[in-house]
Structure 1
């Protein structure tokens, strides 16, 4: 009897997290080859590549379904004269079925784990588009989504701090 009561007193096990990718899609994409459009001279080119990433997530009407969108803006400029070589903008999304994640952990889960899972696919698209657009294939560095999430939290805290301080 005592053993049964001891077993009942143990905390309940955490529910197992279940995640399934239901769909992946390009919501919007644009690639501009400025070299071909402007007819820039073929002088010495020293490309400087800048990659900006932003994330968005929302609950879908269906139970346990969420949509996560990654927005990449890849700009290549010539270091020699600062002229744009190409500009690639892509919004890449995924639809996820997620269960077992506590409500207080859902926001970081959506903005860290879901994009991390989609990253290899968007990296491949960026590589293919730059190659097909007339440039060497661009294999962007892995994105640290945890650091990106922390930066966004710090930015939000900083913008809200002046509003909450008494005069």
Structure 2
């Protein structure tokens, strides 16, 4: 155990995270219901797909995280499309004090959690402005999403043939 001279254990490095900026990289909303018209009773079925991307920026301790949401709504009765919303929302983060082996999960779990309330508001506003009731998407479990992606990658690595 490391000591700092006054018989107290050395403190672990303090994690610092700061959001330096947020931005919409891409936003698309297609109101298929209005374009094509749908007769009869409309009972929406909403599907939300989420993917994440993180990359190191040239400046020390800075990372760019992009959350990608694809929201599709179809009519339960007929399967006809009602709307399609795609949103790529990014943030620039300054992160210090996270051990190297933990930076990847930190960037893909904690940073998207910080961005999510803004994504939820944008999706709600766009669906409302598009003529639908505001869609307030459920919280996303970024920890579970990260675990699923790591399991998928591990499975993909196990299936690759080896060269001899």
Aligned to 1:37: 35
In structure 2, how many angstroms separate the alpha carbons of the residues matched to 1:80 and 1:30? 25
CA RMSD across the alignment: 2.0
Measured after TM superposition, the shift of residue 39 of structure 1 is: 2.3
Measured after TM superposition, the shift of residue 104 of structure 1 is: 0.4
TM-score normalized with structure 1 length: 0.91
Aligned to 1:20: 18
In structure 2, how many angstroms separate the alpha carbons of the residues matched to 1:5 and 1:37? 73
- The secondary structure found in structure 2 opposite 1:44 is coil
Aligned to 1:54: 51
Gaps of 5+ in 1: none
Distance verdict in 2 for CA 1:166–1:6, change over 3 Å: farther
More helix by share: 1
Aligned to 1:7: 7
Aligned to 2:92: 95
In structure 1, how many angstroms separate the alpha carbons of the residues matched to 2:75 and 2:64? 36
Alignment of 1:139-154 (within 5 A): 139-154=136-151
- The secondary structure found in structure 1 opposite 2:7 is helix
- The secondary structure found in structure 2 opposite 1:7 is coil
TM-score normalized with structure 2 length: 0.93
Measured after TM superposition, the shift of residue 163 of structure 1 is: 2.5
Counterpart among 64, 89, 98 of residue 67 in structure 1: 64
Distance verdict in 2 for CA 1:5–1:86, change over 3 Å: closer
